[in-house]
Amino acid sequence: MQTIERISRKVGLPQSDLEKYGRYMAKILRSPKKTQGTLVLVTAMTPTPQGEGKTTTAIGLCDGINRMGKRAIVTLRQPSLGVTFGLKGGATGGGKATVEPAEEINLHFTGDMYAVTEAHDLLSAMLDNHVYQGNKLGIDKRAIIWPRALDMEDRALRHIMIGKEEIRHESGFIITAASEVMSVLSLAKDEKELRERLGKIIVAYTKKGKPVTARQLKVDGAMVLLLRKAFLPNLVQTPEGNVAIIHGGAFANVSIGTNSVTATQAALHLAGKDGFVITETGFGSDLGLEKFMDIVAREGKLQPRVAVIVATVKAVERNGLENLCKHVENVQQFGLIPIVAINRFRGDRKDQIEGIRKGCRARRIAVAVNECFARGGKGAKTLAQEVVKASRKKTKMKFVYSLNDPLKTKIEKVARKMYGAKDVSYSTQAKRKIKRLKRTALPICIAKTQLSLSDDKTLRGRPTHFTAQVKDVQLLAGAGFVLVKMGNVLLMPGLPPHPAAERMG
């Protein structure tokens, strides 16, 4: 590994704009304002439970473009400890395409996850204390909706009863990556906006049905204080000594699923006019990519041109080539140029790889075999060339829905265009809440399974004749979107029979 000072000099970042965390990590205090580079998104076809290697591909692509003599920076989310010790293990890439120092990034890193957890739980404590100390706001204990947070997978804490007498009520824990505080951190563009968004978080309702916010509890200032360092992007490096920025950690099946707006904007300025920024969006195009385009790109005024769709032999065997083609169509609906990256794993046969490649070429889809896991940036050479070539083409970015569309229209446009649904149904509870929200100019964030294009994880391939079922909607005023819940998506995951933690030491 190279020292963080040497890494920062490669993009013209002076030492005065860094706050170092040891020899290999630093916070970016300021980034220069100059002409921005080209933004490239990395998404995937519908994944297997083990994932298809989007992080690995994003890192390898960054190193591959740098090998071409061009500047490229990769921006990623911070791994959740819950995931690190759960099913997937670490989330810093793999093989010769990892961000370093991988161990530190996968564990406590620069303390950002801890800060988000503490800010979330401070709000929980202040809410219950307000009720205990006289409840001047008239909060209905049965209408307290703000849970606790923990960056660990612990299903036993999903539903709990807390307190005694005056403050006794139902509660529970969610994983930190699913917290609205994490979404706020990832979407705010400066400290002023951070405080404004935190203050708007709705934590409960009064007995008259009026929302109670963090600002009314006078806790937004203290939350910003806890988050002041966590709000700054983190500078690290790729295996080939290129710049990587890691910041934010929102899940894609229940939140926006990408790194922070501040990290992407900093990277675009540091990359410069002829440079590239590679940003991963979680899970498939129906989740992370759709949310990036309809929420993050709008908020951050970001304009990606190219989207790399990661495919693997295992994912094609599980979901079929038509599933991959649907994700290509999803990318095209946003006006982006799709490129399929066949991420080669050990054990994949040549005929299997060739079958996917021929299928893509028959449909006139740009495709490249990616071998960065085994060969680093060199193994991503063909993919890098395809991305650079595609970036020269003119594109016109589009959205799935207009912010002025009625809430139901937004939901139905995403369900039909992105998922392929025939229809959408609503629970009685969802209908009541949609009616209460009336017309809102906010984007929507749909929480659903990542294992299917539909809201039913058992429907593989490219399902068409299905009805997407909306179970609930919730206004997340701080994050600035309406959360739409489809299916049984958990805000607090549980550990698998044999967690990755068993193999660590």
Are 164 and 259 members of one domain? no
- Which value, to the nearest 10 degrees, does the dihedral of the CA atoms of residues 125, 248, 286, 269 take? 140
Residue 498 lies in a domain: no
Question: Residue 16 phi/psi, 5° resolution?
Answer: -70, -15
Q: What are phi and psi of 277, to 5 degrees?
A: -120, 125
Which pLDDT score is estimated for 90? Answer: 83
For residue 455, what pLDDT is reported?
A: 97
Reported as a pLDDT band with limits 50, 70 and 90, residue 98 is very high
Which residues, at least 6 apart from 134, have a Cβ–Cβ distance to it below 8 Å? none
- Number of domains observed in the structure of the chain: 3
Same domain, 345 and 452: no
Q: Is 90 exceeded by the pLDDT of residue 37?
A: yes
Say whether both 106 and 148 belong to one domain. no
Residue 169 domain flag: yes
Residue 372 belongs to a domain with what CATH number?
3.40.50.300
Looking at every residue in the chain, the average pLDDT score rounds to 96
Residue 439 has pLDDT above 80, yes or no: no
Q: How far, rounded to the nearest angstrom, does the alpha carbon of residue 10 sit from its chain's CA centroid? A: 27
Residues 182 and 310 in one domain: no
Contact 220, 199 (CB under 8 A): yes
**pLDDT value, residue 92:** 95
Which among 175, 208, 227 is the end of a domain? 227
Q: Do β-strands 18-20 and 173-175 pair in parallel, antiparallel, or remain unpaired?
A: unpaired
Same domain membership, residue 169 and residue 88: no
287, two tokens: 């989740």
Residues 328 and 412 in one domain: no
**DSSP sequence for 308-321:** EEEE-HHHHHHH-H
Domain boundary residue among 202, 227, 252? Answer: 227
Flag whether pLDDT at 33 surpasses 90. Answer: no
241, 378: one domain: yes
Tens-place pLDDT, residues 341-363 = 999 998 999 999 999 999 999 99
- The per-residue DSSP string of 62-116 comes to HHHHHHTT--EEEEEPPPPHHHHTSSS---SEETTEE-BSHHHHHTTTTSHHHHH
Tokens of 262: 């501040």
Same domain, 246 and 105: yes
Please name every residue paired with 245 in a beta bridge, in sequence order, or none if there are none: 75, 235
Q: Tell me: the pLDDT tens digits for 463-498? A: 999 999 999 999 999 999 999 999 888 899 999 999
Residue that terminates a domain, selected from 195, 227, 259 = 227
Q: Where are the alpha helices (DSSP H) in 367-502?
A: 372-375, 381-391, 407-414, 428-437
pLDDT interval class at 501 (50, 70, 90): very high
Would 279 be classed as within a structural domain?
A: yes
- Domain contains 431: yes
Q: Decide if pLDDT at 213 tops 80.
A: yes
pLDDT (tens digit per residue) in 406-417: 999 999 999 999
Distance CA 430, CA 444 (A): 14
**Residue 318 to residue 383: CA distance in whole angstroms:** 24
Q: Percent of the chain at pLDDT above 90?
A: 93
The pTM assigned to this predicted structure is 0.96
Is 484 in contact with 425 (CB distance < 8 Å)?
no
Same domain, yes or no: 153 and 217: yes
pLDDT, tens digit (0-9, with 9 covering 90-100), for 256-301 = 999 999 999 999 999 999 999 999 999 999 999 999 999 999 999 9
pLDDT confidence of 88, banded at 50, 70, 90? confident
| 242 and 375 part of one domain | yes
Evaluate whether residue 400 is within a structural domain: no
The answer to whether residue 42 is domain-embedded is yes
Tokens 């921006």 belong to residue: 75
Give the C-alpha distances (Å, rounded to integers) separating 482 from 234, 256, 411: 29, 12, 10
Residue 60 lies in a domain: yes
Q: Within a domain: residue 493?
A: no
Partners of 472 in the β-ladder:
485
- Residues 198 and 169 occupy one common structural domain: yes
Q: Is residue 244 scored above 80 in pLDDT?
A: yes
* Tens of pLDDT, residues 141-183: 999 999 999 999 999 999 999 988 778 999 999 999 999 999 9
Average pLDDT for 93-102: 96
Query: Could you tell me if 474 and 459 lie in one domain?
Result: yes
pLDDT for position 127:
97
pLDDT of residue 387: 98
Average confidence (pLDDT) over 135-139: 97
Is the dihedral angle over the CA atoms 391, 335, 75, 504 positive or is it negative?
A: negative
The residue segments making up the domain with residue 279 are 4-110+230-391
The answer to which of 62-71, 150-159, 434-443 has the lowest mean pLDDT is 434-443
> Looking at this protein, which amino acid is placed at residue 276?
F
Q: Calculate mean pLDDT across residues 194-217.
A: 97
CATH number at residue 466: 3.10.410.10
Res 149: pLDDT: 98
CATH value at residue 168 = 3.30.1510.10
> pLDDT over 70 for what percent of the chain?
100
Q: How far apart are CA 306 and CA 332, in angstroms?
A: 10
Identify the CA nearest to 288 among candidates 114, 471, 55: 55
